[in-house]
Structures are given as C-alpha cells and as structure tokens.
C-alpha cells in the first residue's frame, strides 16, 4: 500500500482483515515506526488498532518487493511525482490499484491514466476501487461496499477477491471511467452541500442539490464514455450520499467552512487532510467545457471558491442559461438528449454483446 494516510491505512486494514499480508509505505519514518511497533496510526486513525498482518516501512523498495498487488492512496496532485521512484521497483505483471478520487490538475487525467502513463502499464493491469467509503467508519468495521473496476474483468475480480472481508464487500465492473469519475465528481457536490450546511439552509436545499448534482455527474461521465448505471451505483449515488451526509467528509467540511464565510486560503490552511474536490474543480470544469456539459452546481462552487459568489446565493434554482431551469430543458435540448439516449442504448446493447450479455457498467 503506497500511502499511509487515513484511506491507505484503513484499506490496509480491510485487506488484512480479509487475510492478506500488507506492507504500508509511509513517507515519514515515524509513521511507519508507529504502525510497525504499536499497530496504530494516531495521526490519521486515532483510537484504531491495526491487525498484526499490517506492517509498515518508509523504504519504498521494501514495501513493493514481492508485492502481489499494489494499491496507491496518496493525494491525487502528488501521484505523478512519486511514480518515477515507484517505476523501477514495481514487481512485473502485478495489478496496480488506484484508491484515489481526483483528477490531475495540470492534465485533467484520471488517476488510473496517470498510473498507466507514469508506470508504463497496460490498462488491463490497472484497477480502481471506489464507493461510499468514509475511512473512519470502515476503520471501526462498520459494514460497507465498494466497486473494483478494471478494463480487464479478470484483474477487477482478482483485486475484489482480496479487498473483501466480513465488513467490506467489493463488487466489480469494467467501467473504469464511470467508477473513477463517480468518485471525483461526488467530491464537488459534497463541497456544495458543505457550503449549504455552512450557510444554514436545510434539507430541501440539500436534497435538490444532491439530486441535480447526480444529473451533472452522470451527464459529465457519460460524455466521457461512462455507463450511466455506474453513476447510479456505489461509486456514484452511493458515494454521493455518504460524502454529502457525513461530517467525516473532508470535502463536506471544506464546503462548510466556505459557507461559514472563510476564504479559500483559510480553508486550505484549516484542512489537515486531503480534500480532493478543491483541486479537481478547475480541471473538471475544463473537461466539461470540452464536451459542452453544463455543470451549474460545480460552477457555483467555483465562484464561491473564487470569492465571486456569496455562499448564501448557492441554490438549487440553478439555470443552464439565464432563463432556463436546469431540469426543464428546452425542446431542442430534449431532442438532443433523446438522440444521445438512443446512442447510449445502442452502445449499451453492443457492450452487453461484447461482455456476454452483461453491461460493463453497474455493480456486480
Ligand atoms: N479518507 C477517506 O475516507 C477516503 C479517501 N479516498 C481517497 O484516498 C486518497 C488519499 O486520501 P487520504 O488517505 O484520505 O488522505 P490523507 O490526507 O489522510 O493522507 C494523505 C497521505 O498521503 C501522504 N502524502 C501527502 N503528500 C504526499 C506526497 N507529495 N508524496 C507522497 N505522499 C504524500 C501523506 O503523508 P504525510 O502523513 O507524511 O503527510 C499521507 O500518508 C485521496 O485521493 C482520497 O480522495 C478515497 C476513499 C475514502
Ligand atoms: O471518498 C470518501 C468517501 O467515500 C471520502 O470523502 P472525503 O475525501 O470528502 O473525506
């Protein structure tokens, strides 16, 4: 496991509780020492005991030596700088799994793409795992589920087999784009919900934004080739509900601070853990513009971050243009939607034929 923050450490526990021997790589020797000697990571998971099958090192080579599967859980914006060191140390032919939920700011690439390029891997060796997975709840062994996705079903199943225990169930699919973008995009909606919480608005506002947020997530991901059912699954709707509903979410927390009137710099200074949504917002909006996908909620979050929108003006009566409510599309828009829905239905049918009657999307 590359990364010993809250998620890397928790996922190491998930794997170990399923019977795997796990070596965590921590960049700080003192973190590795505490995990090795005291079976704790008090910086990130206070009060949680780690199983004996989890050990740790700050030597990347020692962590990767003889690994049968490699999981990566560091902040998305720091992935690229770590790959050069990882590349010569990576055992050949093992799956590499991204647990990260961001896109690279400078390129707009998903984390699986950065792994493929930076480590020189075939897509079939790369998998992503995503779902409603708030680390602290899982570290306390509260039951949940996730999706492991790879363009190779065999790779996804091999990883899911290991990432499974009495409180953690892994489903599989081959819709990497949908699974990965689900995790990225729910963070942006969670920031919006945090802003709403911070302002003091109630459940109607939040439900409207969550529901419309899911539409934005689906429109965006489908425009990039995702299957819409993946966005209704654990990696989309599931994670959206968990992240928007929990004060444990760092994205939600960052939003709440913005809603309470703190500026972007203050929020970043107050966050001691990774809030991926803040860095993913700009590249996601750039990608959305490339495909003509309207993302009014994300745009409003961007304006709040930039200080050009008063947080209390964030609202579900969002418009696609100055006059048009988001959900009530014009006839033209409906016709375009109808056409793209037909195209998606045909693509799905073809995809099902390719996958022996099963769609690549959805959680299985
Ligand atoms: N926490 C959660 O509930 C979940 C998180 N995720 C995703 O997992 C990923 C990691 O997040 P999470 O573990 O929560 O983050 P944390 O902030 O808890 O931990 C970040 C980890 O990455 C290390 N790190 C920071 N900067 C670098 C760097 N430049 N190079 C190498 N290592 C670095 C930190 O080391 P140090 O301690 O030395 O700073 C720490 O071990 C994110 O993409 C997040 O979206 C996904 C599902 C659930
Ligand atoms: O991805 C997560 C839950 O699935 C964690 O969300 P935060 O990064 O907002 O804490």
Q: What is the pLDDT of residues 60-86, one digit of tens each?
A: 999 999 999 999 999 999 999 999 999
Residue 148 near residue 159 (C-beta atoms within 8 A): yes
The percentage of residues in the chain with a pLDDT greater than 90, rounded to a whole number, is 85
Q: Average model confidence (pLDDT) for the chain?
A: 92
Q: What is the average pLDDT across 105-115?
A: 98
Does ligand 2 have an atom closer than 6 angstroms to the CB of 251? yes
Q: What DSSP string describes 302-334?
A: HHHHHT-S-GGG--S--BSSSS-BSSS--HHHH
* Atom 32 in ligand 1: residue holding the nearest Cα: 74
Does residue 222 carry a pLDDT above 50? yes
pLDDT given at position 129: 98
Q: Tell whether the model's pLDDT for residue 332 goes beyond 50.
A: no
Q: Give the atom of ligand 1 at the shortest distance from the alpha carbon of 249.
A: 3
The structure's pTM equals 0.91
Task: Please enumerate, by residue number, every residue annotated as part of a binding site for sn-glycerol 3-phosphate.
Answer: 101, 131, 186, 239, 249-251
Q: Is 8 in the pocket of ligand 1 (CB under 6 A)?
A: yes
Cα separation of 113 and 179, whole Å? 13
Distance 99 CA to ligand 1 centre (A): 10
Q: Kindly give the number of the ligand 1 atom that is closest to the alpha carbon of 111.
A: 43
pLDDT at position 333, please? 46
Domains and CATH numbers, the chain: 6-173 (3.40.50.720), 178-353 (1.10.1040.10)
How many residues are listed for the chain in this entry? 364
Measured from the Cα of 31, ligand 1's closest atom is 37
Tell me the pLDDT tens digit for each residue of 337-348. 555 556 666 666
Which ligand has the nearest atom to the CA of 136?
1
**Do residues 1 and 8 lie in contact, with contact meaning Cβ atoms separated by under 8 Å?**
yes
Please give the residue that has the higher pLDDT: either 227 or 273. 227
Indicate whether residue 74 lines ligand 1 (CB < 6 A): yes
| CA distances for 103 relative to 60, 93, 181, 238, 341, angstroms | 24, 25, 9, 20, 26
Confidence at 326, pLDDT banded by 50, 70, 90: very low
Please report which ligand is nearest the Cα atom of 26: 1
Q: Supply 307's token pair.
A: 């200080």
249 within ligand 2 shell (Cβ under 6 A): yes
Q: Predicted ipTM?
A: 0.99
Q: What is the pLDDT of residues 228-256, one digit of tens each?
A: 999 999 999 999 999 999 999 999 999 99
Give residue 354 CA to ligand 1 midpoint distance, Å: 37
Residue with CA closest to ligand 2 atom 5: 134
Looking at residue 361, its pLDDT comes to: 72
List pLDDT tens digits, range 148-204. Answer: 999 999 999 999 999 999 999 999 999 999 999 999 999 999 999 999 999 999 999
Ligand 2 contacts CB of residue 101 (under 6 A): yes
Quick one: pLDDT at residue 353?
Answer: 61
Q: Going by CA atoms, what residue is nearest to atom 9 of ligand 1? A: 100
* Residues noted as catalytic: 186
Report CA(133)–ligand 1 centroid distance (Å): 14
Could you tell me which residues come within 8 angstroms of residue 101 by beta carbon, excluding any fewer than 6 positions away? 76, 111, 130, 183, 184, 186, 187, 276
Task: Categorize the per-residue pLDDT at 362 as very low, low, confident or very high, splitting at 50, 70 and 90.
Answer: confident
Average pLDDT over residues 114-120: 98
Mean pLDDT of 263-286: 94
Report CA(337)–ligand 2 centroid distance (Å). Answer: 31
Query: In the predicted model, is pLDDT for residue 304 greater than 90?
Result: yes
The ligand placed nearest to the CA atom of residue 129 is 1
């Amino acid at each position: 496991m590359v990364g010993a923050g809250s998620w890397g450490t928790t996922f190491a526990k998930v794997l170990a509780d399923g019977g795997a021997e796990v070596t965590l790589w921590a960049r700080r020797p003192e973190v590795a020492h505490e995990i090795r000697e005291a079976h704790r990571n008090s910086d990130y998971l206070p009060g949680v005991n780690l199983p004996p099958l989890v050990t740790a090192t700050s030597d990347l080579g020692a962590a990767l030596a003889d690994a049968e599967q490699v999981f990566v859980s560091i902040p998305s914006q720091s992935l690229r700088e770590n790959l050069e060191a990882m590349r010569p140390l990576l055992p050949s032919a093992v799956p590499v799994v991204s647990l990260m939920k961001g896109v690279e700011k400078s390129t707009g690439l998903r984390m699986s793409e950065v792994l493929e390029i930076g480590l020189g891997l075939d897509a079939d060796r790369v998998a992503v795992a995503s779902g409603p997975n708030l680390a602290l709840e899982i570290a306390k062994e509260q039951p949940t589920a996730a999706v492991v996705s790879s363009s190779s079903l065999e790779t996804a199943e091999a990883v899911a087999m290991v990432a499974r225990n009495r409180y953690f169930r892994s489903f599989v699919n081959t819709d990497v784009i949908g699974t990965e973008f689900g995790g990225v995009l729910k963070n942006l909606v969670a920031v919006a919900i945090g802003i709403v919480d911070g302002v003091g608005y109630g459940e109607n506002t939040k439900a409207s934004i969550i529901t419309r947020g899911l539409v934005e997530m689906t429109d965006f991901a489908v425009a990039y080739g995702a299957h819409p059912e993946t966005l209704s699954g654990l990696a989309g709707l599931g994670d959206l509900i968990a992240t928007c509903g929990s004060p444990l979410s760092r994205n939600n927390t960052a939003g709440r601070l913005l809603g309470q009137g703190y500026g972007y710099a203050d929020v970043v200074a107050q966050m001691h853990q990774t809030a991926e949504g803040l860095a993913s917002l700009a590249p996601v909006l750039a990608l959305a513009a490339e495909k003509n996908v309207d993302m009014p909620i994300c745009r409003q979050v961007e304006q709040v971050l930039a200080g050009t929108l008063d947080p209390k003006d964030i609202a579900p009566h969002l418009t696609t243009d100055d006059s048009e409510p988001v959900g009530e599309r014009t006839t033209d828009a409906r016709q375009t939607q109808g056409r793209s829905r037909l195209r998606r239905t045909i693509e799905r049918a073809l995809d099902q034929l390719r996958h022996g009657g099963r769609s690549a999307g959805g959680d299985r």
